[in-house]
Every structure is written in structure tokens, then in C-alpha cells.
């Protein structure tokens, strides 16, 4: 199977390689071109005519190939500064890529012709032995960060479960993981950043040095600068963790299936609102005919049994599955949550998918009408080839959550009030590179999203920018991602980047 996947990936790569436009510039030494300016400034780069260009611009989401005018591969902040100054001179938009996991390929610019800054060489990591503040290079991936901090200090940082996701986009726009209800988001734990601004200045940003820019970067960072280094608060590793799962296999054609799913989710909402401690976090994974409640309790098995008992008692008892429960150390549990994948990541990341995703941020409980509408939709619509889909609803909020207890004015992060955050993910069923994502798939997922939101018009739903949806207009995206914070972000964009150099189709200032 592994060999087959490698062959299919190579075929997809070959298809991409032969599709590359060749009219983006030249490697001439003349400083009258962007490439010439970069060459004159000794900026390491890959141009469109270079053999390394195709793999350098291959997107994580193969549905959205974009072609930058060139790829800068800096090793210093000064390289980035020089590249930005050249881009300003030649009026070329700039996009930075950390891990390249943007669902909309915004690390490539989100459109052809941007100058891409690939941060992969910024891989430094250290932990101060006195303060335990971690210094993290912007090119590292979550698995590198987690394993590095643990190896150096036996400590942790809240972050997502996929080891290959880049730290920069994750942290600058949120960053949710299985320690977030007790430690906050990744963004909440940034204490300082080295940043290259849109005019080429290299600055150190903290709440003390520039509170406005620090506020903007933590929530909408890609629109305000290119971070080279983060400093994060870290936490002592939990003594132990309990991994748990209840999995229901359900007949979607049965008359009582929708009602049963509604009762399960209502029980989760009722329990989570007041009773779930900050040491408990879980998500609900849903596919056609399948629902899985799984999560982590940071503590002993005896404490977990006591905490979870009221929830278990409130679930429908008819057909209640036998749970899978196991104890782990902190670092071993991170590997389990990554589906067994090793945490340290190779420099040349080769994972790809072809997909489209929606997100819904629910600030309150979903009503019976909304849940019934959603579960009816997925029961009746099922799976439509060549697409597969799944939905994950993660518990962010509740009375005891560190995420929702943070002051909303502390950062530009716009979904502080999230109770549950939904990711609706559709991708091609199989890895045949000759099959493309069907145009109807986007409307199919929009329809699935509306099945949740439309029956509950009194609720102001949001969306999560790290599950970016390129089908949204800039105005729609800004309202859903940032809410009332957008007006201040727009004003700060005029101050720090009046020419919208740091750009993607949904960047701050595009509406």
C-alpha cells in the first residue's frame, strides 16, 4: 500500500510539473527585474525555470495549484527583508509558507504570480532553563516543536494533533489541540516574535514593545508580517493522560437513527456546558453510518471514571458501545493522537490531498431543530462518489475552558466564544491522479453546512480561519473569521501594510 501511494503521489507531481507556466520572469542578473533584484541582494531563490521549482510549489491541497513568480528560501531575517524590499520595488504580492498546510494554498499566494517566502530553513528550537520559554523557528512543524520541547525540558505547548502542520500559520491564527481547554490555544501562549514587516523592517514584537501589532499578529498574523521566530510559554507535562472512545456504527436508513444521534449530541452539549473540567477535551467524529466520541482526560484513570460518569449516564443506553480506554504518558499520547505517526518531521514533506473544507463555529448549543436537520442531511445524502467526507466537532468552550475564559480583547483571534467548532471535510475517495475534485462538491459541502446553520437563524455562527474556505468572498470571510475585530484589523493594516503587499484573496484589507 505504501509503495502504491508513493507511485500515485509521483504521478500527481508529474502532472503538476508539466502544468507549470514558464512566463513569470527570468534569471537575468539585471536589477531591472524582480529576479535580478533578488539576485543582486544575494537572496537564495528558486525561479520558475529551475528544476527545483515544481516540488517547491506543490501544494498540500492538490485541488489548488498556484504558481509564484519565484520561491525565496531564506536562511536569515535579512534575506526576507531584502526580498520584501524587492517585492515592493516591483509591486509584487508576497506570501509566506511555513508548513504549507493552508487549505486554500495561501502559502503559495492563493493566486498565480506572488513572491513566495519558504520558511523551511528556520528550524531552530531552544528552551530557557530558567523561564522555560521556548524559542521556536518559524519553519518547524508541530511534531518537531512538541518533540523538541519535550526532549529539552519535559514540557508541553498546546497545539494540534497533525505533526506535519507548520507552527507559523497554526499559531498566528489560533491553534487548537487536546491540551487547549487547560492551556489555551497556541496563539494564547505567544510572548514574543521576531517579525519582518511589509516595509522590510526587522522588529521584535511583544505586548510591551508594540501592543497594536502584537494584538493583530495573534489572530491575523499572515496579513501583518513574516515571523521568523516565536517565543512561547510552556507547561510541565501532565503526569498521565487517559485516551477514551465510544464508537457507534449506525444504520442511517433506520427510522430512529437521526433521533439517536441528536440525543447523543445533546447529552454532550449539556455535559460540556457546565460539567466538563478543563482537563477534559473531546471531539465527535462523524461519517455516514458512524459516530465516534473520543478525547483525552489529563489525569488518573480513577479521576477520569468519576468525571465522565455523568456524561455516560446521560447518553442513550440502548446500544451504548463498550468504550476503549487506555492510560498513556504525555509524550506517548501525542503519538497516539497523531495516529501513530512519529512526531519529528522530515524536511521534505510529501503528504498531499485533494479536498474542500467548511467550518462552523457554534458559540452556543445547537438546537434540536439544527441537529435534526444536520443528521437528516447526512443520513439521506450519504456518500456521493468520487467524494468521501467526514465531520469533526471539537469542544472548545464550556464554563471551565481556558480558551473561552481569555479576555476577547487580548488578541484579534475572532472565535473566542466558540462552544463547538465543526470541520466539514470532503476529499477524493482514492488517490487516482486522473480524477479531479468535482465542481458540485463545493455546493454539496455548503449545503451540509447550511443544514446546521439555517435552522438556527438566531445564532451568529462564525468560522475558523485555520480551516480556511476559499469559496467565501473577502467580506464573508472577514465577518466569519474576525467578527467585530475586523474594523480594527483593517485600520492597523493601513498603518503597517498600506500597499497590501502581504496578500492573499482573503487577507485583511481586501474588503
Based on the domain organization, do 215 and 268 belong to the same domain?
A: no
Terminal Cα-to-Cα distance of the chain (whole angstroms): 46
Last residue of a domain, one of 118, 146, 168: 118
What is the residue-wise DSSP string for 222-258? GGT-EEEEEEE--EEPPS-EEEEEEEEE--TTSTTHH
Q: Is the pLDDT of residue 24 over 90?
A: no
- What sign has the CA pseudo-torsion 262, 462, 165, 7? positive
Residues 147 and 63 placed together within one structural domain of the fold: no
Same domain, 191 and 279: no
Residue 448 pLDDT > 90, yes or no? Answer: yes
Look at the alpha carbons of 122, 55, 350, 467 in this order and tell me if their dihedral is positive or negative. Answer: positive
In a domain, 244, yes or no: yes
For residue 58, tell me if it sits in a domain: yes
Tens digits of per-residue pLDDT, 381-435?
A: 988 899 999 999 999 999 999 999 999 999 999 999 999 999 999 999 876 778 8
Q: How far apart are CA 17 and CA 51, in angstroms?
A: 10
In Å, how far are 116, 196, 288, 499 from 94, measured between CA atoms? 6, 12, 41, 11
Residues 151 and 42 in one domain: no
- At residue 32 the predicted structure's pLDDT band, cuts being 50, 70 and 90, is confident
Local confidence band at 30 (pLDDT 50, 70, 90 cut-offs) = low
Instruction: Tell whether 104 is covered by a domain.
Output: yes
Q: 493 in a domain, yes or no?
A: no
131 and 39, same structural domain? no
As a whole number, the mean pLDDT across the chain is: 94
Grid coordinates of 482: 474576525
Residues 145 and 247 in one domain: no
Specify whether 197 is located in the same domain as 276.
no
| Cα 52 to the center of its chain, rounded Å | 27
Give the domain CATH number at 40: 3.30.43.10
Q: What is the CATH number of the domain that holds 185?
A: 3.30.465.10
Residue with more model confidence, 431 or 73: 73
Q: Last residue of a domain, which of 236, 269, 289?
A: 236
Task: Indicate whether 4 belongs to any domain.
Answer: no
pLDDT at 249: 97
Q: Is residue 480 part of a domain?
A: no
User: Residue 178 has what pLDDT?
Assistant: 98
Same domain, 201 and 84: no
Tell whether the model's pLDDT for residue 498 goes beyond 60: yes
Residue 102 has pLDDT above 60, yes or no: yes
Q: Do residues 368 and 443 both lie within one domain?
A: yes
- What are 324-357's pLDDT values in tens digits? 999 999 999 999 999 999 999 998 888 999 999 9
pLDDT greater than 60 at residue 27:
no
Assess whether pLDDT exceeds 90 at residue 17. Answer: no
- Across the range 444-448, mean pLDDT stands at 98
Query: Would you place residue 226 in the very low, low, confident or very high pLDDT band (cuts 50, 70, 90)?
Result: very high
Given a cut of 80, whether residue 152 has pLDDT beyond it is: yes
State the residue range of the domain holding 113: 19-118
pLDDT number for residue 441: 97
Residue 85 and residue 154 in one domain: no
pLDDT band at 31 (very low <50, low <70, confident <90, very high): low
Q: Are residues 48 and 175 in the same domain?
A: no
- Asked if 378 and 245 sit in the same domain, the reply is yes
User: Does residue 368 belong to any structural domain of this protein?
Assistant: yes
Look at residues 195, 221, 236 and tell me which one is the last residue of a structural domain. Answer: 236
Decide if pLDDT at 486 tops 50.
yes
* Contact of 115 with 196, CB cutoff 8 Å: no
Residue 12 has pLDDT above 90, yes or no: no
Q: Which residues of 87-121 are buried (b: 16+ CB within 10 A; e: fewer)?
A: bbebebbbbbbbbbbbbbbbbbbbbeebbbbbbbb
Query: For residue 373, which of 258, 457, 505 has the smallest C-alpha distance?
Result: 258
Residue 159 within a domain:
yes
Number of domains in the chain: 3
CA–CA distance from 437 to each of 169, 388, 429 (Å)? 25, 11, 10
Q: Is the predicted pLDDT of residue 465 greater than 50, yes or no?
A: yes
Residue 462 sits in a domain whose CATH number is 3.40.462.20
Provide the pLDDT confidence category of residue 1 given band limits of 50, 70 and 90. Answer: very low
Amino acid at each position: 500500500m505504501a509503495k502504491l501511494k508513493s507511485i500515485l503521489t509521483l504521478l500527481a507531481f508529474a502532472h503538476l510539473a508539466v502544468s507549470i507556466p514558464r512566463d513569470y520572469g527570468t534569471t537575468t542578473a539585471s536589477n531591472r527585474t524582480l529576479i535580478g533584484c533578488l539576485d543582486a541582494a544575494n537572496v537564495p531563490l528558486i525561479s520558475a525555470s529551475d528544476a527545483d521549482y515544481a516540488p517547491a510549489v506543490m501544494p498540500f491541497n492538490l485541488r489548488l495549484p498556484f504558481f509564484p513568480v519565484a520561491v525565496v528560501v531564506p536562511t536569515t531575517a535579512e534575506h526576507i527583508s531584502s526580498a520584501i524590499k524587492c517585492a515592493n520595488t516591483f509591486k509584487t504580492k508576497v506570501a509566506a509558507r511555513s508548513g504549507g498546510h493552508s487549505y486554500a494554498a495561501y502559502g503559495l499566494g492563493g493566486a498565480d504570480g506572488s513572491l513566495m517566502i519558504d520558511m523551511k530553513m528556520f528550524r531552530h528550537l531552544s528552551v530557557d532553563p530558567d523561564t522555560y520559554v521556548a524559542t521556536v523557528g518559524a519553519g518547524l512543524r508541530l511534531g518537531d516543536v512538541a518533540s523538541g520541547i519535550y526532549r529539552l525540558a519535559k514540557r508541553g505547548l498546546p497545539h494540534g494533533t497533525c505533526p506535519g502542520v507548520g507552527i507559523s500559520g497554526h499559531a498566528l491564527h489560533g491553534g487548537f489541540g487536546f491540551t487547549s481547554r487547560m492551556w489555551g490555544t497556541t496563539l494564547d501562549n505567544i510572548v514574543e516574535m521576531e517579525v519582518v514587516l511589509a516595509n522590510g523592517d526587522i522588529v521584535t514584537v511583544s505586548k510591551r514593545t508594540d501592543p497594536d501589532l502584537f494584538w493583530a499578529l495573534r489572530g491575523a498574523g499572515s496579513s501583518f508580517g513574516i515571523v521568523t521566530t516565536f517565543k512561547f510559554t510552556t507547561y510541565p507535562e501532565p503526569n498521565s493522560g487517559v485516551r477514551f472512545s465510544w464508537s457507534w456504527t449506525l444504520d442511517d436508513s433506520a427510522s430512529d437513527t437521526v433521533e439517536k444521534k441528536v440525543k447523543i449530541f445533546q447529552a454532550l452539549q449539556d455535559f460540556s456546558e457546565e460539567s466538563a473540567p478543563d482537563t477534559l477535551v473531546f471531539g465527535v467524529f462523524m461519517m455516514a453510518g458512524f459516530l465516534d466520541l473520543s478525547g483525552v482526560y489529563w489525569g488518573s484513570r480513577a479521576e477520569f471514571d468519576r468525571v465522565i460518569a455523568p456524561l455516560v449516564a446521560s447518553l442513550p443506553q440502548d446500544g451504548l458501545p463498550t468504550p476503549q480506554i487506555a492510560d498513556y504518558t504525555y509524550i506517548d499520547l501525542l503519538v497516539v493522537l497523531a495516529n501513530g505517526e512519529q512526531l519529528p518531521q522530515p524536511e521534505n514533506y510529501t503528504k498531499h490531498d485533494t479536498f474542500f473544507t467548511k467550518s462552523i463555529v457554534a458559540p452556543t448549543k445547537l438546537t434540536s431543530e439544527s441537529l435534526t436537520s444536520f443528521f437528516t442531511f447526512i443520513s439521506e445524502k450519504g456518500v456521493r462518489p468520487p467524494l468521501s467526507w467526514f465531520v469533526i466537532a471539537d469542544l472548545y468552550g464550556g464554563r471551565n475552558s481556558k480558551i473561552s475564559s481569555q479576555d476577547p480583547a487580548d488578541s484579534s483571534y475572532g472565535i473566542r466564544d466558540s462552544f463547538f467548532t465543526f470541520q466539514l471535510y470532503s476529499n477524493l475517495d482514492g488517490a487516482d491522479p486522473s480524477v479531479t475534485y468535482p465542481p458540485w462538491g463545493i455546493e454539496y459541502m455548503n449545503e451540509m453546512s447550511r443544514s446546521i446553520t439555517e435552522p438556527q437563524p438566531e445564532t451568529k455562527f462564525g468560522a475558523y480561519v485555520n480551516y480556511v474556505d476559499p469559496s467565501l468572498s473577502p467580506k464573508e470571510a472577514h465577518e466569519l473569521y474576525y467578527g467585530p475585530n475586523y474594523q480594527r484589523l483593517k485600520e492597523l493594516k493601513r498603518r503597517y501594510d498600506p500597499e497590501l503587499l502581504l496578500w492573499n484573496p482573503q487577507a485583511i484589507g481586501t474588503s
